[in-house]
Structure formats: structure tokens, C-alpha cells
Amino acid sequence: MYARLPALLCAAALLAATPPTAPEWHSAPPARAPHAMIATEQHYATQAGLRILERGGNAVDAAVAVAYALAVVDPCCGNIGGGGFMLVRMHDGRERFIDFREKAPLRANPHMYLDAKGNVIPGASTKGYLAVGVPGTVMGMERARAEFGTLPRAVLMAPAIALADRGFTVEPGDAAIFAASQSEGDSGAYTFAKQPNIRSIFMRNGTLPQSGSVLAQPQLGATLALIAKDGAQAFYRGPIAREVVAASQRNGGILTLDDFSKYTVDERAPLHCTYRGYTIASAPPPSSGGTTLCETLGVTSGFPLGQWGWHSVKSVHYVVEAERRTYADRNTYLADPAFVRNPVAQLLSPEYEAKLRGEISAGKATPSVDVKPGLGPLAHENADTTHFSIVDRWGNAVAVTFTINDLFGAGVIAGNTGFFLNDEMDDFTSKPGVPNMFGLVQGVRNDIEPGKRPLSSMTPTILTKNGQLFMVTGSPGGSRIITIALSTIQNVVDYGMNVQQAVNAPRIHMQWLPDEVQYEPGALSASTMETLRGMGYTFREIHSWGSAQAVLVDPQSGVRYGGTDRRHPSGLAAGY
């Protein structure tokens, strides 16, 4: 199949381009199946979705089953206490973007995380009940199932309920996430011991879950059973909402029953752009993901990246300079479309992308202090995460990215509900010019307002060519989600990698501020980095980020290929 891709790199060329210090990321083959494929970062969730596909369900049915299974087996990130986006493309060409992003409580205000002197209060937007936005996952899954699914809710939720009630075996990758969160400093496992209801689930023997242990979550199982029986009504107008609100009010939060009963899911058309002959469908606002991805692809489309080679000096320079400019636009102009007018058409116009392209100096980094949002000022208008990709036997495709933001969200579980609540309020601008937990320096258009959805970086994306499905992809990773999607697409389209290599390849990232290029080990050779430093770049190594999950369809044979990110060893791409 890969010999038919437009920018093929043979195995020998790919190995030659790989820095000698890189891990053997390029050697793992993709999963292969003739009919259907699922890629998730947790193998139990993949298996739950496969069972649904094998019994005749479609990709949306499988997505609902996977989402609820992830709420059990990936409690740091999979959720019913958060929200996200689902991008659906049916085999007949119908496309929908389902927005179940969290909303700010009705009692929220722009100054709620500031002290008397106007300074941001550390931790106020990241830990505890004041950090919690109104969750959207349950209503989002129910909307998707009702509109596009074919199987009953109880059937789709049965695998998740069984995993919660009977438990699942913790593997090294699962245990590592619990251990890592202890030192994270925002929320997560370091608070578990202080909360009896969390301690009783995740520290039953006095320690966090260890590899080889069985983790059962009967409280979560009971909550899921209520949802399976009564649907979104149980979550938003029933006992679950009442328990969350009561816990919030006891612990300094501002959630009310009105917040839950008035929560809504939005649907709209996906955002579209083109890149080297491929049509890309991705996330419109309130995600910044699709806009920034398409803007960056538009700028870099003018450069022959495939000729220059993967992570060569020239490729890195021009991609990083494009990201520097598009993230400046992202952080300044984009927000919830119910509250502001997003200048998406201007940002994605060929003329504007050519303007940004022309600002890049051939052999010199542009200091971020010298890069201003390219459209000039606009009027202010008041008006951790996981991803999975699925393609079924009919060619229906689903990309879902959903989140509770930080690892284990706000680090709280309401009473006996059994699920972690999000700390999504940190995605708003707590104070213009002050970075959030991901280092994003955002503007007033993303201010906190009652009922508003915070700006997101989630980027569920589907590629087609000549009307045929080609690729489904996305990733967690906070502000780096957009550049993960960018690199995965360019790794396939420009550098001819197979889908497993594309999600495995070491990454680089630039988000305007801070003025640094972040990179993973093996992403840059010593000589490349030395040359780039001489051009004015500053670098910061970060061990690992993201967890891309992608499915690619051979345009001629129809065979499905799956890639699951090596960074999450509990993941699985599998099909039938």
C-alpha cells in the first residue's frame, strides 16, 4: 500500500533520516485488517469496541462503547466527568461535528480565579470543585447514538459496566500514569490519600494500583448502570447531578442543578481545508484545533517538505516558524462561537497564509516577541485527554477526542459517583497574558463567562481524497494536540511513513509563547540542533507527550491499517 503514497520514503531512506539516538520507533508495523479498525490508548477499550463491530454495530456504536470503556480503564483521561468532540463521517458522505465540550457554570465570572490584587490564585482553576466545568460526555454520547447509532444504549454500555464491576488487570503503562500524577503538582493521585471516597477505590491496600493488580470500580459501575437505564436524564436531571452539585456546594464550588439541566450539546459542520490533494475535515471553534491545523498546513503547503526530508534543518525551520505565527493567531482570536465571531475564513484564506509564509526569513528564527497576531486587533464581543479513531466495514469513520483536562482532572470524585470531575475551567483565560497549565498565553476573547465553552486544542481529524476515506487521526496532549495532528498528517503525506511510524515518530512543538522549540529525544540530530541554534532557536527537551491513535485506509484495496502510539504501551490498534 505505502508504495502508492505520493511522497514515499523507502525503509532504507527512512532509517537514514532517523537520528542515531532515536528509539526504534520506525520498526513497528501497523495493525492490518480487511474490514474494520479501532485504535485507542487502552486495549480493553479497543476490545470493547471490536465486540460491538463484530456483532453488527457501526463506527458510532463502537465509539460510544469505547468512550464508556475508557471512562473505566483509563480513569486519568477517559471520562464521563468531562467533555469533548466527536467528528463523524458516514460512508454516504454525511459529516457532523458533535460538540459536547464542558460549559462554565452559570455563576462563573471573569475574575473568579483572581485575588484581591488581581493576581491569579495558584491552583484555583486546576484543583478542586471551583475548577469544574459542566460535563458534556454523557449527553454527547447519547446524541451520537440516537442520531447515527444502530444498537441499544444498554448493549453499548455493557462492556464498560462489566469492566467496572468485575475489574480489569492493571498493566505497567496503567500503573505508570497513577505514579506520574503524584509529582505533577496540579491535580491527581497525590491527593487521593486525603479523600476517603477516592482512597477506597484507588488505594484499597494503601498504595496506588500496581501492575498485575485488579482494579474494580463498583461505584462507577452503578453510575454507568443508571445511565444505561435512563440515559442522559439520569446524569443531568437525576441522582448523578444531585450528588455532584451537593459535593460541589460542600467544597467551595459553584455548580448548581440549573447548570446540569440547562446543559446542551451543539452540532455543526466540520471545518474543511485541503493539503496536497487531500481534503481535511477537522474541529471548528470552540476548538482551536481545526483552524490552527489548517492554517499551519496552509502556510507549510508552500514548502517542499518531502524533498527536504523529515526533521531536516529546513523542514524544522519552516514548520516551526509557521507554528509560531499560527499559535499567535490561535491564542488571540479564537473562542466559543456562541460568544464571539471567529475570523476563521480570514485565517484560512490563501492570501493570509501567503502573507505569513512571506514573513519567514530563510535562515533566521523570528523572536516570538516580534510576532504579532496577523489580523490586528478585533473587537471583543460579549455574546488530560484521550483520543480514539474508528473505521467500520461500511467505511463509516469516527474520530473522538475527549478530556477532563489535567491527569485525573480536578482530582475530585463527588460522593459515590465513582468518576473524576474535570478541571476544564483552566482552559479559559484566567487573566489575559498569564499562561495556563499548558503555557498558553491567551486573550480576552476566551474570558470566563457563564455558560461559555472554553477554547480547546482538541483536533479530531478525518482525511479524504477524491471523496474516498483515507485517514482518521487525533491525540491528547493539551496545547500540543494540534502539532501532533500536524506531524502525523505530514509524516504520512509528505514523508511517506506508514501509519504506525507516523504516530511513533519523535515530535517537535512550538506554540509562540514561551519562545522555545520543545522536542522529544531522537527528534533532532546533534548537527541539526546545532545549526538551528545558530539560527536563533532555543530548545527544551521533554521526554514524551501525546498519544496519537490513527487509522489509514488503502485507497485501492480498502484494507484498514491502524497505528497506536508507542508512548502509551497499554494501547491497541486492532480490527477484523
Give catalytic residues, as residue numbers: 385
Three-state DSSP at 465 gives: strand
18/20 Cα distance (integer angstroms): 6
Rounded CA separation 86/388 (Å): 10
Please say whether the beta carbons of 175 and 210 come within 8 A: yes
Rounded to whole angstroms, the Cα distance separating 566 from 571 reads 8
* Cα 292 from Cα 284, distance rounded (Å): 10
Neighbouring residues of 191: CB distance < 8 A, sequence distance ≥ 6: 127, 198, 411, 412
- Relative to beta strand 83-89, strand 397-403 is antiparallel
**CA-wise closest residue to 387 among 36, 63, 100, 40:** 40
Residue pair 197/412 in contact by the 8 Å Cβ criterion: no
Per DSSP, the three-state class of 146 is: helix
Number of H helices, E strands in the chain: 19, 19
| Whole-angstrom distance, CA of residue 34 vs CA of residue 24 | 27
- Of the candidates 389, 66, 450, 390, which has an alpha carbon nearest to the alpha carbon of residue 256? 450
